[in-house]
């Protein structure tokens, strides 16, 4: 299976120079349909050449191909061979990260995926400040991932294996635990290690923001899940540290959202808040916590990507992302107000979205872990609803300044936003698959 998808993506390089944009996107959707027919199991299946999939990596790989195709749909003005080639490299590296069985290969492509993302921000970013945002992204990742490399070397010299299903003994060393999770906490990102995220989001093009919010934050959660199964007692012993930081961090970041003047900055900080909830579910070390965090990763990947796409549509029309200029958009783009409202509702985890179900499951797992944490969860949910309503009402209500000419929304852009919205709802219809 891996070789088939690998060869498929590799031969798509030939399409970059020979056919048009639509055929290229159509081939990626064919790849998604092909992957849907592969076997799914709770243990690794389709194993070949050190690669395999299970119930954890299956939906994340589908999400990767899905977000990559939506990136291309949202960036038709950037249809250069170099841009398409970067997207191919990103999709291949993300597929390898989510399907590899070997720690070192996962680490290798975990670091390698940073290179195309940096080129994307530097080459197609907006302001000159993108150079500083790339430095933040580079040094945060480099500083945090070196301890993980040391742990991988330690595993190899002491146990002779780097496979995730191997038994790595028993340990209660906090240093081992910290080195193991630090790289993924920065990538998630956890509060206090999150400062690179708003910088990178604001300066990245729409495709860079979509892949950052939709996929790169999920690598952190996926890595935590994989290493959690290696040292369960170690995580149970020290998870209260990250749980406490996340629960306070989500409340503080929710309040930070209210003082933002940039639409993309507010959406980026809301991602930090939701990923804090995801980390709390994982650190509860229960089946419900894992399930809720996993569903939140899928729902947030689609919802946040759609919100960045919508922010870019407004930016293309008004040449600004400031709240002080983007007012009264309901009179400028009335047909988009319903989709923008639905995205904001799904961002605050309203039913019938998968985000709502994931938040309820995480709340149950948090109360099982520490009963009084429901008070903090209520505060986080309340602030999350507040800044989502603030985002919608500040942009769409008020007096439009009429400084720019009127511009319609294309049918392609409507379809792009609907493709973001529909899976968030329809996954709820097959949710029983996760409870078997």
Domain check: are 70 and 211 in the same one? no
| Those residues with Cβ within 8 angstroms of residue 99's Cβ, 6 or more apart along the chain or in another chain | 2, 51, 52, 53, 57, 61
Domain check: are 70 and 115 in the same one? no
Among 49, 66, 101, which residue terminates a domain? 101
Among 76, 101, 126, which residue terminates a domain? 101
* pLDDT mean over 285-308: 92
pLDDT in tens, 319-360: 788 888 888 888 778 888 889 899 999 998 888 889 999 999
Domain check: are 284 and 417 in the same one? yes
Domain check: are 138 and 278 in the same one? yes
Residue listed under structure tokens 């890595």: 223
* pLDDT mean over 130-137: 88
* pLDDT mean over 258-272: 90
Are 295 and 216 contacting, i.e. CB atoms less than 8 angstroms apart? no
pLDDT in tens, 82-112: 888 888 888 889 989 998 989 999 999 999 9
Range of the domain at 165: 102-435
Q: How far apart are CA 162 and CA 107, in angstroms?
A: 11
* pLDDT mean over 299-311: 91
Residue 184 binned pLDDT confidence (cut-offs 50, 70, 90): very high
Please count the structural domains in the chain.
2
Domain check: are 62 and 208 in the same one? no
Domain check: are 426 and 363 in the same one? yes
Please say if the pLDDT value at position 27 is more than 90: no
Please say if the pLDDT value at position 405 is more than 60: no
Tell me the H-state helices in 257-327: 263-283, 287-318
pLDDT in tens, 239-253: 999 999 999 999 999
Residue 223 binned pLDDT confidence (cut-offs 50, 70, 90): very high
Domain check: are 120 and 200 in the same one? yes
Are 188 and 217 contacting, i.e. CB atoms less than 8 angstroms apart? yes
Q: How far apart are CA 391 and CA 340, in angstroms?
A: 10
For CA atoms 393, 396, 400, 403, give the dihedral sign.
positive
pLDDT score at 251: 93
Please say if the pLDDT value at position 365 is more than 90: yes
Please say if the pLDDT value at position 429 is more than 80: no
Out of 120-129, 137-146, 398-407, 418-427, least confident range: 398-407
Domain check: are 26 and 139 in the same one? no
pLDDT in tens, 355-364: 999 999 999 9
Out of 281-285, 299-303, 413-417, least confident range: 413-417
User: HSE on the CB side for 343, CA within 13 Å?
Assistant: 27
* pLDDT mean over 361-377: 91
Percent of the chain with pLDDT over 70: 94
Residue 404 binned pLDDT confidence (cut-offs 50, 70, 90): low
Among 73, 101, 129, which residue terminates a domain? 101
Domain check: are 121 and 82 in the same one? no
Residue 172 binned pLDDT confidence (cut-offs 50, 70, 90): confident
pLDDT score at 166: 81
Between these two residues, 317 and 264, which has the higher pLDDT value?
264
Model pTM score:
0.92
* pLDDT mean over 398-410: 67
pLDDT score at 199: 87
pLDDT score at 407: 59
* pLDDT mean over 136-164: 89
Residue 81 binned pLDDT confidence (cut-offs 50, 70, 90): confident
Domain check: are 205 and 96 in the same one? no
* pLDDT mean over 176-197: 89
Domain check: are 133 and 21 in the same one? no
DSSP state of 280: H
Domain check: are 59 and 96 in the same one? yes
pLDDT score at 406: 57
Q: If DSSP codes are grouped into helix, strand and coil, which group holds residue 160?
A: coil
pLDDT score at 224: 93
pLDDT score at 302: 92
Are 290 and 429 contacting, i.e. CB atoms less than 8 angstroms apart? no
Between these two residues, 398 and 358, which has the higher pLDDT value?
358
Q: How far apart are CA 347 and CA 105, in angstroms?
A: 34
Please say if the pLDDT value at position 403 is more than 80: no
DSSP string, 368-435: HH-TTHHHHHHHHHHHHHHHHHHHHHHHHSS-----S---PPPHHHHHHHHHHHHHHHHGGGGGGGGG
């Amino acid at each position: 299976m891996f070789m088939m998808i690998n060869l498929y993506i590799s031969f798509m390089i030939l399409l970059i120079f020979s056919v048009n944009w639509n055929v290229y996107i159509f081939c990626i959707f064919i790849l998604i349909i092909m992957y849907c027919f592969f076997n799914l199991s709770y243990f690794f299946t389709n194993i070949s050449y050190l690669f395999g999939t299970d119930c954890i990596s299956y939906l994340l790989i589908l999400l990767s191909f899905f977000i990559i195709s939506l990136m291309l749909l949202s960036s038709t003005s950037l249809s250069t061979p170099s841009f398409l080639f970067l997207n191919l490299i990103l999709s291949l590296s993300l597929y390898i990260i989510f399907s590899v069985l070997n720690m070192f290969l996962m680490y290798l492509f975990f670091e390698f995926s940073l290179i195309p993302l940096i080129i994307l921000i530097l080459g197609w970013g907006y302001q000159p400040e993108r150079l500083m945002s790339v430095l933040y992204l580079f040094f945060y990742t480099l500083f945090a991932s070196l301890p993980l490399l040391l742990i991988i070397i330690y595993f190899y010299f002491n146990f002779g294996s780097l496979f995730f299903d191997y038994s790595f003994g028993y340990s209660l060393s906090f240093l081992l635990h910290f080195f193991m999770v630090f790289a993924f906490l920065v990538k998630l990102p956890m509060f206090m290690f999150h400062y690179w995220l708003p910088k990178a989001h604001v300066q990245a093009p729409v495709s860079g923001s979509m892949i950052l919010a939709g996929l790169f934050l999920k690598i952190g959660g996926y890595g935590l899940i994989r290493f959690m199964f290696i040292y369960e007692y170690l995580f149970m012993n020290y998870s209260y540290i990250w749980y406490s930081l996340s629960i306070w961090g989500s409340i503080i970041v929710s309040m930070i959202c209210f003082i933002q003047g940039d639409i993309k900055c507010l959406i980026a900080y809301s991602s930090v808040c939701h990923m804090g909830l995801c980390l709390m579910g994982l650190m509860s070390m229960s089946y419900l916590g894992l399930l809720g965090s996993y569903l939140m990763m899928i729902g947030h990947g689609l919802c946040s990507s759609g919100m960045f796409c919508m922010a870019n549509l407004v930016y293309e029309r008004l040449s600004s992302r400031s709240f002080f200029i983007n007012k009264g958009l309901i009179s400028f783009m009335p047909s988009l107000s319903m989709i923008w409202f639905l995205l904001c509702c799904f961002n605050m985890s309203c039913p019938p979205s998968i985000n709502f179900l994931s938040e309820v499951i995480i709340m149950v797992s948090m109360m099982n872990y520490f009963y009084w944490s429901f008070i903090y969860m209520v505060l986080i949910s309340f602030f999350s609803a507040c800044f989502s309503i603030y985002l919608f009402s500040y942009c769409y209500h008020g007096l439009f300044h009429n400084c720019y000419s009127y511009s319609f929304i294309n049918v392609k852009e409507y379809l792009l936003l609907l493709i973001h919205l529909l899976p968030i709802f329809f996954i709820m219809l097959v949710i029983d698959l996760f409870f078997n």
